[in-house]
Structure 1
């Protein structure tokens, strides 16, 4: 692939990932309320809906990654985006809980396309620039989560619903269906962009002459030196972080007395920091330090941030109140913001560098399979982690999910150190400092 095509392909994958995650983010504000509008739509059912998405993502991420190794990245990305269009349309038209489950399961299966997008990036970037490029893909995810919920909230306003319903009276427009149709439209835009502009990243002569079965490719990815440790690391990080994400809103509601709107603003703050970390900081850091060193640093920051979260009020005692300057900037809030800053920074650095390590340990023919397996491990963790952490919150205390999550992250550092001792000779030479935006 020529230089211009590589650059265009990377930009288009960034846009496709953003549009896909924008649709996902649009649904976030309405999902609990939509579920409760049906008979039997309890909080337990909401949890099952979340688990059904992650479970299907766990099952299909390796399959989509492996399929992209055999037939190419472009057709798999287009197929998954088409599936998302169908899923969000069914979600908006659902008149029963079982249809919500069908929609979420289909969306989860198609949500496994992250492994294909990561493999595409690995195809079009050299190893020394891969971590920075993967950081931009992570930033696309973060941008989708920043803009999506805001769009979903605006589309669920009564005035917005009434205005759209007057324009298209033949379509059943409600405060739940309108955001769903907007999510479907975002994915449809991704389909159009991919069909019109996305080049294939795998050349025919780069494909293996003897093709393995999907199971054989996945087995080869798992058996590759260093990948086993990385799979465990991905599982532990996803387990801990997903549990923290789920329990964060109950924590700030119970301890700080924050409303849903205030909690949403805090999550937006976290999302902005995640984008800055992965889109701005990761590139220069990877130009100076190895993925191993950055993984250890990211783990350390995340361990401290997660463990300190239930003690954020105590952290706030070291800050002066700034209410004389800004009415809402209390010492308690400043302490919470200080602790929250550590979470997206640590997780952003760690997730990108672990992904870069996966790419280094997998051969060119197994990039999609390797990313699919690691994404599947993360999806499995996100299926199990939230209910476990929720049980701890209710049975033991508000502090327990965060302390347990911090302890679960400690073995990640040990796994990375073990990876260094086992495969240090396979690490690429330290790259020359370069502009992280220069993708080649």
Structure 2
């Protein structure tokens, strides 16, 4: 594939992943409240959230292997088709069972991220691969910023009222169905664009079952990498960070709905603000911070910040009682203005801490592996993150309903303490790769 064709293919994959994540992000402020509308408890709603990551974890290796033998393009088209079906069913769901089925189907189709990563590896030379994968990360970030904002728009009273006036009687037009149909429509347009614009990156002669032995050796390399002291420590830390933060993500909307009376639109504004803070930190502040202090110290600082901010989220109304009522922070009429201000004061440093922790941990993971093991190392962190986002929401929902509303958030903050301890004990001399000397000095 020539340079121009390679860049074109990379741009198309970027758009595909961005639009795919946009469709996913639209439903983030909707899913918990959608489950409650069917009479589900917060625990069952948390299981609905977790079901996506569980199916994504199970499906990603299968779709990756299928793309090795059948080509990347068919797998990406298949997954987009499945996503259109899943989000359509999500909007039409007349029961909690259908809601779970649609969510799990969407999760299975979401395993196409591994195929997108493989596509980028196909069309980029080794020296350009980091840039290509970085674009994939940017697509993730943008999708999670604009998606919730669009979800809030389609769930707004004005849009719902307008849709009810034009939709036929058999087609539901609610604050839950409209974001689902919007996600399906966006993904359908993505499918059409991919069908006409996305070339195959894997030539026929490179496909086939002969890659089975290579896959087995890859698994052996991953297991060996997990036994590496520095990498093993970082993977555990990454798992705990993802686990703790998934408790916030899964229960935050339940919390704001219960304490502030917020629906999908108001929560969409909060989630969009959260995403913008993360994007600003990762896009502009993380570089100067790591240049001055090193990834090691920045990761520890980010985890330490989250110890307190995660635990403080459910107590924002109490904190707000000590603040003057300065008026609404958001133009949606919150009933507790001072508590909302307190929530913003908690959420802003929380987003900052999470952003610098994730970037710094990923950089340290990269340094813990040799150039030949980079893919395997990041594969480990992705697997750890998927597992954490599967079990984290389930436990958080159980604590929310079985203990009290504050329990999952306090647990999330408490889980950051062993992360700080693990990083403090990490022998930075075990980190290999460029820049290791600076991190070793940071330990001293």
**TM-score relative to the length of structure 1:** 0.77
- Picking from 385, 388, 402, the partner of 2:395 is 388
Which residue matches 1:20? 20
Q: Which residue of 2 aligns with 1:434?
A: none
Go from structure 1 to structure 2 and tell me whether the alpha carbon gap of 1:230 and 1:222 turns closer, same or farther (over 3 Å shift).
farther
SS of 1:307's equivalent in the other structure is: helix
Report what 1:142 is aligned to.
144
CA distance in 2: counterparts of 1:201 and 1:174, whole angstroms: 41
Could you tell me which residue of structure 1 aligns to residue 347 of structure 2? 340
Asked if the contact 1:65–1:116 (Cα under 8 Å) also holds between the matched residues in 2, the reply is: yes
Call closer, same or farther: CA 1:26–1:10 in 2, change over 3 Å: same
Which segments of 5 or more consecutive residues in structure 1 lack a partner in the other structure?
A: 432-440
TM-aligned CA deviation for residue 107 of structure 1: 0.8
Counterparts of 1:324 and 1:396, CA distance in 2: 31
Take 1:355 and 1:120, find their aligned partners in 2: how far apart are those partners?
A: 21
Is the 2:329–2:341 contact (alpha carbons within 8 Å) kept by the matching residues of 1? no
Match of 1:193 in 2: 193
Residues 345-384 of structure 1 correspond to what in structure 2 (within 5 A)? 345-358=352-365, 370-384=377-391
Q: Which stretches in structure 2 are left out of the alignment for 5+ residues?
A: 439-444
User: What is aligned with 1:91?
Assistant: 90
Residue by residue, what CA displacement relative to the aligned partner does 1:41-93 show, whole Å, maximum 9, x if unpaired?
55554333223222212222344456567776555444322321232233344
Cα deviation digits, residues 343-379 of structure 1 (max 9, x gap): 2222223233434444555677776665454333222
Aligned match for 2:162, one of 150, 154, 159: 159
From 277, 282, 285, the counterpart of 1:278: 282
Matched, 1:112 2:116: no
Flag the 1:333–1:179 CA change in 2: closer, same or farther, 3 A: closer
Q: How does 1:65-76 map to 2 (within 5 A)?
A: 65=64, 75-76=74-75
Distance 1:61-1:23 versus aligned 2 partners, 3 A rule: same
Counterpart for residue 49 of structure 1: 48
Q: Which residue of 2 aligns with 1:436?
A: none
Q: Is the 8 A contact 1:25 1:152 kept in 2?
A: no
How large is the Cα RMSD of the aligned pairs? 4.3
Report if aligned partners of 2:45, 2:397 keep a CA contact under 8 Å in 1. Answer: no
- Distance in 2 of aligned mates of 1:73 and 1:285: 38
After TM superposition, give the deviation of residue 267 of structure 1 in Å: 2.7
| CA-CA distance at 1:341 after TM superposition | 0.4
Q: CA deviation at 1:412?
A: 2.5
| Gap change, CA 1:177 and 1:269, over 3 Å in 2 | closer
Task: State the partner residue of 2:222.
Answer: 221
The answer to whether residue 248 in structure 2 is matched with residue 241 in structure 1 is no
Match of 2:442 in 1: none
Check the 8 A contact 1:23/1:182 in 2, yes or no.
Answer: yes
Measured in 1, the distance between the counterparts of 2:328 and 2:51 equals: 47
Query: What number of residue pairs does the alignment pair up?
Result: 425
Q: Highest relative contact order (Cα 8 Å, sep 6+), 1 or 2? A: 1
